[in-house]
Structure 1
Amino acid sequence: MDRGGCIYIMTNHLRTTFYIGVTSDLQARIQEHQVGKNPKSFTNRYKLHHCIYYEMHPSIEEAIAREKEIKKWRRGKKVDLINTLNPKWDDLSAEIQRW
């Protein structure tokens, strides 16, 4: 049985920098970013504490493939993707933590 996966996009307060990640436990991973579990990580150095986009996938392999696809895109296409789910670019962290 495959374990599901998620891709997600984190950004900073000014919404200028993106981090695209993949995980099998979105709630835990978002929390790790927000508390700075890995002090030398990209997300911690650039204060990327706001989750503005996520997608659920039936398997972690599908999520990894989607992450690789999105990482190749130019910023404009990533912005369009974010706008489909979250046009105001609200931080979705609280919504994710309520699951």
Structure 2
Amino acid sequence: MRKIYYVYIIKCSDNSYYVGVTNNLQKRINEHNDGINPMSHTFSRRPIKLVFNEEFLDVNDAIIFEKKLKGWSRAKKEALINNRFEDLPLLSKNRKDSSTGSE
């Protein structure tokens, strides 16, 4: 039996987003909500809510996607969460353009 890995986005009580990867999604969400790690981003931002997840069969693919999401802007994460896939290329382009100072 193959393991399934999940890349997930949770929305915290302060409206920030947290991106993570796990092989047991429900257990990990419960851990975030239970506050088992006082040093984690989510500890003081509970309760949290799962707003996105995607399954992977290869842990390396999951880790690559997690790192990619962590680099995304808030607007781009929200487009993904809200299934506005058509907005993703534009949001990527705008981010590049704003970093170079071009319009």
Which TM-score bucket, shorter chain as reference?
Answer: 0.7 to 0.9
Aligned residues: 84
TM-score by length of structure 2 reads: 0.72
Alignment RMSD, CA only?
1.9
Unaligned runs of 5+ in 2: 85-103
Choose between structure 1 and 2 for higher RCO, CA contacts under 8 A separated by at least 6 residues: 1
Structure with the higher fraction of residues in helix conformation = 2
Structure with the greater alpha carbon radius of gyration: 2
Q: Percent identity?
A: 37
> Are 1:36 and 2:23 matched, yes or no?
no
Structure 1 Cα separation of the partners of residues 35 and 58 of structure 2: 27
Q: How does 1:8-23 map to 2 (within 5 A)?
A: 8-13=8-13, 16-23=15-22
Unaligned runs of 5+ in 1: 86-99
Residue type matched to 2:9 in 1?
Answer: I
C-alpha contact 2:13 2:45 (8 A) present in aligned 1: no
TM-score by length of structure 1 reads: 0.75
Change (3 A) 1:84 1:71: same
